[in-house]
Amino acid sequence: MRLLKVATCNLNQWAMDFDCNLKYIKESIAEAKAGGAKIRLGPELEITGYGCEDHFLELDTVSHAWDCLKELLLGDWTDGILCSFGMPVIKDSERYNCQVLCLDRKIIMIRPKMWLANDGNYRELRWFTAWKQKENLEDFHLPSEISEALSQTTVPFGYGYVQFLDTAVAAEVCEELFTPLPPHAELALNGVEVFMNASGSHHQLRKLDLRLRAFISATHTRGGVYMYSNHQGCDGGRLYYDGCSCVVVNGDMVAQGSQFSPKDVEMVFAQIDLDAVASLRSSVSSFQEQASCKAKVSKVFVPYKLCQSFNLQISLSSPLKIKYHSPEEEIALGPACWLWDYLRRSGASGFLLPLSGGADSSSVAAIVGSMCQLVVKEIANGDEQVKADAIRIGHYTDGQFPTDSKEFAKRIFYTVFMGSENSSEATTTRAKVLADEIGSWHLNVSIDGVVSSLISLFQTLTGKRPRYKVDGGSNIENLGLQNIQARVRMVLAFMLASLLPWVHNKPGFYLVLGSSNVDEGLRGYLTKYDCSSADINPIGSISKMDLRTFLKWAAIHLGYSSLAEIEAAPPTAELEPIRSNYSQLDEVDMGMTYDELSVYGRLRKIFRCGPVSMFKNLCYKWGTKLTPAEVADKVKYFFKYYSINRHKMTVLTPSYHAESYSPEDNRFDLRQFLYNVRWPYQFRKIDELVNELDGDRVAITKSTDGEKVNVTADGGMGVVAAGSGDPSAGF
């Protein structure tokens, strides 16, 4: 038997925060070594963070990554364990997305990514070049400061694998697995038994099964050990990376990490017998025949043993049942973890939500409640980092910490019902009951006085007073009066978010949460700069239909029973007066149902349909209940309002990404919008340079004047933290 223990991990990296990233990498290696692993795999671009986007174009980013790698190699981190680190590397004049394979304080190979992710949320071709030279490994000359520190001048660079004394190991980076001709097929025929896939894969509802089936398929007929590592958390953008690092052996899942978790480091171990891989391959005739005439792949030989021999004290990992979450659980957990990362990394002290008592804002409130439950649960499980963050954000003193989710919510979550003369008693009550169930600090505010003052000001300026349509006004007047209410709510929400902490003697500020769903964004059924304009929006890429099923689930599983009544109520904006013969309804206003909007969205984005091809598809889909003329009217109506309201997408609140037909616009300056405002690694490097330059200045002064000069260079740096009083800091 050839027994091999491997470790892969979920890491919550933060784009451009090199100190944070290096800390978690070291923790993962320490845990891997303590667990007896001989291979440690981390996620794609783990040293920099995956979401650096246009920061990858900066030479600083590449330079800092080399500095971090040097620190790892100069210490004992790689002693006795093969580590694969993800980072950008510049070779000649090209920038590559690479896995750097290290062992015993040496770089043994650099594997550049050959097939780049360049669709949907990914634009890797904007920042990296795909490696196209498959024939031979090339010599890569290490940067001078690295080669001097490591006493190593060159390293093999390119497509290939590492041949050890007892097995062969290769990297296959993220997107490469999903290509029509994935590298692992060819590598398996060349004798590679262990595949390491470093990934940066985001959460999307109902997506995980596609990913896991790819791992299983890769090894089911070819045999092999497939290790997968992923980021987990929000690293500074709209995406939540959903972990689920795992190990698959010969088509069986033998180890699986969590998909959603507030942990910063989660290790996944597997103890495997590589002879099982060899046995499977030798028993498949077609594998033997194809291997006998394979195309040769370059290799690096390392005279080192990774495996142990037969040992009864070692327990082998057995196949296990794959853990999947339902879509309702995904909505409860994914956005909740995303919100937690924003809260703890933004410098904010909590969230403020305009809570209308409707389905959308109630979904957001339930997700915040889920976040509070997750935090309390993780603290009870002994996670000291989550505990420290919760103590800091909740301003606990005297050794206290959160033990009850409702008590924690009261400290970090404000909800505000901003009612008008058009609000019903039912929605007012629903908002209050839900706030009580979650534990938020709730306000009931009337905006009628502010709205009336604005209308009176308009009348003073123009001599005219607009009326609602039900009172005889025109469509223009009706829309204008609705928009005034909506925009007043936005102004009030941001005022309360900034000043309520001051009122309650709390430091910092609160983040305003938006609550527009993906279908309303697609249709443009929202007022520009109303309370849909917020700091972040956890449901902005979730469909109305999924939210409704989530509400029914959450009423039971999260313990917020009032959500069942909220889900059953017809959606309404409550921006027009209620009359005995008229009540404003969303689907009537939009001229289409939420079900129809989901269909339009998927055809437009996922299936890339223009108006004509959408019409043809819907003639088949709806032909049994609608005539072609009726289908045509619906398609034309959708594209009319999609086009009219597309401008709203350029200012849409940054939203959690959960649906592939999201219409959110994000085109030009591709950098994240959540930073560590202290830039600890970079600012420290500046301070070090200042100290060096000041030392040079002292030496120059002494040599020219012959006098001793005292220079103060303490490296201090005044950094404005978010919410510290500078209106440009934070959100």
Query: Do residues 42 and 49 touch, judged by C-beta distance below 8 A?
Result: no
Q: Are 315 and 484 in contact (CB under 8 A)?
A: no
* Greatest distance between any 2 Cα atoms in the chain: 97
Using DSSP, state whether 61 is helix, strand or coil.
helix
Q: Which alpha helices (DSSP H) does 233-358 contain, by range?
A: 274-283, 285-292, 327-346
CA 236/CA 536 separation, integer angstroms: 12
- Count of other CB atoms within 10 angstroms of residue 196: 26
Phi-psi region of 714 (alpha: psi -120 to 50; beta: other; left: phi over 0): alpha
DSSP type of residue 166:
S
Q: Are 101 and 83 in contact (CB under 8 A)?
A: yes
Residue type (1 letter), 607: F
Contacts of 226 (CB under 8 A, 6+ apart): 184, 195, 197, 215, 218, 219, 247, 248, 249
Instruction: Decide: residue 689, CB within 10 A, 0-12 exposed, 13-18 middle, 19+ buried.
Output: exposed
Pairing of strands 94-103, 106-112: antiparallel
Distance CA 128, CA 18 (A): 20
CA 452, 455, 461, 462 dihedral sign is: negative
| Nearest-angstrom CA–CA distance, 515 and 538 | 7
Q: C-alpha distances in angstroms, 256 versus 227, 266, 270, 273?
A: 10, 11, 9, 18
Catalytic residue numbers read: 44, 113, 174, 356
Nearest to 199 by CA among 243, 251, 156, 161: 243
What does the DSSP assignment read for 199-235?
E--B--TT-HHHHHHHHHHHHHTT--EEEEEEEEE-S
Question: Strand, helix or coil at 255?
Answer: strand
Which residues, other chains included, contact 631 with Cβ-Cβ below 8 Å and sequence gap of 6+? 615, 618, 619, 622, 623
* The token pair that represents 319 in the structure block: 């196949």
Distance separating alpha carbons of residues 553 and 45, to the nearest angstrom:
37
Total residues found in the chain within this entry: 731
User: Could you tell me which residues are beta bridge partners of residue 268?
Assistant: 8
Show Cβ contacts of residue 151 under 8 Å, excluding neighbours closer than 6 positions: none
User: Closest by alpha carbon to 548, among 561, 567, 566?
Assistant: 567
H/E run at residue 546? helix 544-557
R_g over Cα of the chain: 29
Cβ contacts of 567 within 8 Å, gap of 6 or more: 359, 548, 551, 552, 555
d(CA 722, CA 731): 8
294: CB partners within 8 A, 6+ apart:
186, 189, 190
